[in-house]
Every structure is written in structure tokens, then in C-alpha cells.
Structure 1
Amino acid sequence: MPEGDTVFAAAARLRQGLAGRTLTSTQFRIPSLATSDLSGRAVVSVRSRGKHLLIDIGESEPGAGDALSIHSHLKMEGVWHVHRRGQKWRRPAYQARVVLRTDDHEAVGFDLGTLELLADPDAALAYLGPDLLADDFDREEAIRRLGADPDQTIGAALLDQRLMAGVGNVFRSEICYLRGVLPTRTVGEVDLGPMVDLSRRLLWANRMRSARTTTGQTSPNGRMWVYGRKGQLCRRCATIIRRGEIQSTGGDRSIYWCPRCQT
């Protein structure tokens, strides 16, 4: 499931293949951008902001003032692939939403949940909370935002990107478990500083991993403490792991917990 670590890694791959290079051709395979053509422009940078990915494109000519950013959000199914020109795509062509080519590389965005061109991406994403994977992550601001509504459940607060950007459903379950906190507890009952610190550590540790892990184990069945383990035994106390729904900004989302380890 794409979360902040997944998007950070995707940006790193795209940066390696595109940054500093000129686009020789572009194809936007969605109706709203079907006539857009960015060929001849340089890729200035590729960066992530929480779960959002930005490919910054330079001006069409010096002084034109028409620099743009390709903004994408993976949602549930999206992925970016980057490879040498001529290599076979790893997904069907009908799933491609955008194709960006340079002289030697090709980047393809498949099943992207959001795809748009933005003239001022930083303003468009200004609503996001501090990015957990940013070098200048503002810990105190994240704590302040999370604590602004003390009656909200911590499970909902962790998933609200306006408060702190990067945590998704997987990390939310794992963070609550590792802090020994039931996700239904209110924010006002939780020590937010250690929860924010743990969130950053977990995302940072996984930002370039091919297989996400919160346990330190890399075997397919050993990577998570509770997420996706409904009905299985808690790795610490052997209590049955439970799964339920908790209301969040994007609607009800599944969450996993141990009723003994989390209080």
C-alpha cells in the first residue's frame, strides 16, 4: 500500500532517470491532459511531499514564466516505473496514465489516482502537515497540529495528512501497536512526542526498502506486528489480533490491534 516511504522511493528512482535531462516526448493518457506536450523541456527536480509526488518541469524557454510540475498521487493502485528506453513495460499499456521519455530513459505512471499539471505546486499542497521524510521536518509543528483536536481518536489523527504527512493505513496500525495505544483512544490521552518520533523513524527506516518492515524481519510473514494479521497470534503475547473500522478523513478504514498489548 503506497505511503510516504513508497512515494519517497519512487521519487528517488524517477530523479535518477529524469532529473537534469530533457524530455524528448510526453504522453498524457487522460482526457484532461490529452493535448499537453512538455517535450523539449528539462526536468528540474523530482520530489515527494508526504504521499504526493512532484516532477518539476522547467520553462519552455528562458523567461517564459511557464514552469510546471507534474503532480501525482498513487492512491491504492498507482505506481511509477522508470527504465531504459526499449525495455518491456511491467504493466499493461492500458493502465498507463503518463509516459515521459528522455534520450535514454522512460518513466511510466500506471493507474495514478491523481495526475495533473500545477503552476504553483507548493501553494496547492500547502494544506499538508509537516512531511515526516523531509530533511527539515518540523517535529513541534506536527505535535501542535495533532494535538489541536484532543477529542479526535489517535487512529484518525495519524491518517489525517493535514496534521502530519506520510502515514497511511499500514503504518498507522503499526505505530499504535508499538506505542501500546488503542487506536480508539483520544489524542488528548496520548503522549504525542514519542508517537511523532516513532512515525518518523519507521518511515525513514523504510524509505528505500524494497519490502517494508516494522519488525526488523524481512520474511514475507514476519514483516508486520499487527497489520494484515487478523486472527493470528500477537508476536509478543499470543493474543488474537483483531481488525475493525475507524472513522478517518477519507472514510472508514481498517485498522489492526492487539487487545492485550494496546490499552
Structure 2
Amino acid sequence: MPEGDTIFRSARTLHKALAGTIVTGFVTEFAQLAAVHDNTPVTGRTIEQVESRGKWLLIHFSGDLILVTHMLMSGSWHIYRRGERWRRGRSHMRVLLANETYEAIAFDVPVARFYTSRTLARNSAIPRLGPDPLRADFSAGDAAARIAAHPQEEIANVLLNQQVIAGLGNVFKSEVCFVCGLSPFARVHELSPDQVAALLAAAERLMNINVSDAASGGVITYTGARRTRNVSDAGARLWVYGRRGQACRRCGATILMRKQGSAARSTYWCPQCQPLPVPKAQPIAGWSTPILRRKVGC
């Protein structure tokens, strides 16, 4: 499923293939995109930049035109050399961008819209996105403050909130909580500042290892499966996600899965490695009782 790392890699590949080139072909199944193309053609424009912002992918054209797409659960961008056979059928094509060398195809992308810089700032969710762990300007301090603004919510739900931290989805949410030994059902007010900092450091580290690029400049799409463990066995690449009923790789307990939040998103965790926080002791009247916290780190 597309999360921030997938979109980042797609944007990087599209940028290598398209940036600085002139659009020679544009086809779309979206009426709004087609109407813009009819009135102010996309063909003949220069593609200036392709970037990711969380789970959104933005293609910037000359003349202040920006194509914004969101993959949701099933969409994907592919890049082909002109004349190369597509790996998906024509019926799945939603947007086609071509230059003299490549064709970029958006397959089954459910959200696609043109903006100008002004309308993007005023009429889209993108300016409200939280800090993105894959961007050079990622601010863990800003992200921590945004998390703290949701004290009564369960931490896994907060990590999915794109206005708190951009790019995390179900996989990274579950994996980050496991790596840090924190229950995904702990409420934000139950976590210490150090624990929140550890979650953010883990999110930044795990997402970045999934976008490493050893290529020397060619148009190469990352095809490896998402991983959060440094192992050579492809079947052991994740700690808990998708492993309900299997043994925890750390302690041997059985991995559990529960639907969480109003959207009923799947959350995987180890009940032994990730216990719920111990309730804070309430002091007896007239006594001064220290609060004991269990330290959990990545």
C-alpha cells in the first residue's frame, strides 16, 4: 500500500525522467484535467519539478500549473520508455504524460487535480500537512508539539494524522510503535517527551532506509519490499505488520491485530513487548508519592 516512502520514490523517479523536458503528450480520464488541458494545453510546457509531500505527489509545469495526485490504496505511477509495453492494461490508465523519451502513467490513481500556486495554498490539504520525515527540513520538535496537541487520542491514530506527521500509514505506524516498545493504544498524555522523541526518531529512520538510492543517476525504480529490519531474508523484513497469529521476532509471544480508530485501520502489535502504560499512582491524601514511569526506548 502506498505510504510516504512509496510516493517519495515515485516522485524521485519521475523527476529523473521528466524534469527539464517538454511535454509532448498528455491524456487523461479525469474531466477536470481534460478541461484544463483543452483551455490551456499541458503539451508544450516544461516539467520543472516532481516532488512528494507526505502521501501527495506534485508535478510542477511551467506557466504555474501543478498536477497533484494521491494514490489512496491502489494507485501507482509507472515510467516506461516510449514504445515499451505497459505492465497494466489501458483501462487502468488515468493520466499519461510523455516527453521524447519516456511515458509516465498514473494507473488507478483516484485523486488527480490541477492547481496554480495560489489555489494549491488556499484550496487543498497540502499546506496543512505536518512535518515529513523524508524531507530535509523535517522538524521533530514541530511534530512533537503537534502530537502533544492530541492528549486523549491513542498514539497510533495520531501517527496516522497527516496534519501531525506526513507520510506514515498502517505499516509504519505499527512498526514504529513496536520498535519503540510502546503500545499503539497508549494515549498521548501517557507518554513522556522522551518516548515521543523516540517515536519520531524511529519514524524518520525507518522511512529513510526505505528510500535509499544506490543508483548513480539513471532512471531506476526501487522494487524491493518495504522493510524495517536489517535482514537479508525478504520474508522477515517486518517486525509485526501483517503477522497476526505468528510469533514475535523478539519475545516469541503471539502477534495480535485489532481494528483501531473511527476508520477501523489495522494495527499489529506484540502484547508482551508493547504493554499498555501502567496507570499513574494517585497519592493518598497527605502523602507525597513519587510517580514511577517505565522507560521504553528504540
TM (norm. structure 2) is 0.83
1:26–1:38 CA contact under 8 A, matched in 2? yes
What residue ranges of structure 2 are gaps of 5+ in the alignment? 213-221, 276-298
Give the aligned partner of residue 102 of structure 1.
Answer: 99
Identity of aligned residues (%): 39
How many Å apart are 1:29 and its aligned residue?
A: 1.2
Once residues 45 and 18 of structure 1 are traced to their aligned partners in structure 2, the CA distance between those partners, rounded to angstroms, is 8
The structure having more radius of gyration, on CA atoms, is: 2
Tell me if 1:112 matches 2:116: no
How many Å apart are 1:224 and its aligned residue?
A: 0.6
Give the aligned partner of residue 238 of structure 1.
Answer: 252
Q: Secondary structure of the residue that 2:127 maps to in structure 1?
A: coil
Corresponding letter in the other structure for 1:113: P
Pairing of 1:104-253 with structure 2 (within 5 A): 104-120=101-117, 121-123=120-122, 124=124, 125-190=126-191, 191-208=195-212, 210-247=224-261, 251-253=263-265
Q: Secondary structure of the residue that 2:234 maps to in structure 1?
A: coil
Corresponding letter in the other structure for 1:161: Q
Give the aligned partner of residue 55 of structure 2.
Answer: 51
Q: Secondary structure of the residue that 1:221 maps to in structure 2?
A: helix
How many Å apart are 1:143 and its aligned residue?
A: 0.5
Mean CA deviation greater in 31-40 or 158-167: 31-40
Once residues 121 and 184 of structure 2 are traced to their aligned partners in structure 1, the CA distance between those partners, rounded to angstroms, is 31
Once residues 82 and 233 of structure 2 are traced to their aligned partners in structure 1, the CA distance between those partners, rounded to angstroms, is 33
Once residues 253 and 149 of structure 2 are traced to their aligned partners in structure 1, the CA distance between those partners, rounded to angstroms, is 34
1:45–1:57 CA contact under 8 A, matched in 2? yes
Once residues 242 and 180 of structure 1 are traced to their aligned partners in structure 2, the CA distance between those partners, rounded to angstroms, is 15
Pairing of 1:11-50 with structure 2 (within 5 A): 11-35=11-35, 36=37, 37-50=41-54
How many Å apart are 1:218 and its aligned residue?
A: 4.2
Give the aligned partner of residue 7 of structure 2.
Answer: 7
Corresponding letter in the other structure for 1:69: I
Corresponding letter in the other structure for 1:238: G
How many Å apart are 1:159 and its aligned residue?
A: 0.4
How many Å apart are 1:34 and its aligned residue?
A: 2.7
Pairing of 1:87-98 with structure 2 (within 5 A): 87-98=84-95
Q: 1:230-257 deviations in whole A, cap 9, x for unaligned?
A: 0000011111100101105xx1100100
Q: 1:176-228 deviations in whole A, cap 9, x for unaligned?
A: 11111111100112221111111011101111452211011243320110000
Once residues 171 and 249 of structure 2 are traced to their aligned partners in structure 1, the CA distance between those partners, rounded to angstroms, is 17
Once residues 85 and 109 of structure 2 are traced to their aligned partners in structure 1, the CA distance between those partners, rounded to angstroms, is 19
How large is the RMSD of aligned CA atoms in angstroms?
1.2
Aligned residues: 254
Give the aligned partner of residue 74 of structure 1.
Answer: 71
1:154–1:183 CA contact under 8 A, matched in 2? yes
Give the aligned partner of residue 260 of structure 1.
Answer: 272
Once residues 219 and 196 of structure 1 are traced to their aligned partners in structure 2, the CA distance between those partners, rounded to angstroms, is 27
1:17–1:83 CA contact under 8 A, matched in 2? no
Corresponding letter in the other structure for 2:229: T
Once residues 257 and 121 of structure 2 are traced to their aligned partners in structure 1, the CA distance between those partners, rounded to angstroms, is 37
1:76–1:113 CA contact under 8 A, matched in 2? no
TM (norm. structure 1) is 0.94
More strand by share: 1
Once residues 147 and 218 of structure 1 are traced to their aligned partners in structure 2, the CA distance between those partners, rounded to angstroms, is 37
How many Å apart are 1:113 and its aligned residue?
A: 2.4
Corresponding letter in the other structure for 1:10: S
